Amino acid sequence: MKFTAMTLCASVLTFLALPAQAAGDPKAGQTKTSMCAGCHGIAGWRTAYPSVYSVPKLGGQHAAYIVAALKGYKSGERSHPSMDGIVGSLSEQDMEDLAAYYASSYSGPAK
């Protein structure tokens, strides 16, 4: 009985330790990246509008963070002229799919 309880507890803890998967579909997300690749797909890309800054690399980023950021742009909590225009056309499923794709596509550090 004690062995069974310990095995059950270990199984539950192992399950809880697994990384959470995005609710999106990475394959579907890959088909939706054309609007992202112009900035986020170029290693070391910097934008000059509205101010100069390095564009963040999305590959390997946590899916939950990507979804939260996209929702922030859509709600107005975050703002950037390019992102505001792009995110306005995304559904929640699009956001989840893009996040799942980028979370699963780490290609190493930006050059």
Q: Are 92 and 22 in contact (CB under 8 A)?
A: no
Q: What confidence score (pLDDT) does residue 48 get?
A: 78
Q: Domain for residue 11, yes or no? A: no
Looking at residue 1, its pLDDT comes to 63
Q: Could you tell me if residue 71 is inside a domain?
A: yes
In this prediction, the residues of the chain whose per-residue pLDDT falls under 50 are: 7, 9-10, 12-19, 22, 110-111
Domain count within the chain: 1
Q: Is residue 83 part of a domain?
A: yes
Domain containing 81 equals 22-103
**pTM given for the model:** 0.72
Non-local CB neighbours of 64 within 8 Å, separated by 6+ positions:
20, 22, 99
| 50 upstream amide cis, omega within 30 of 0 | yes
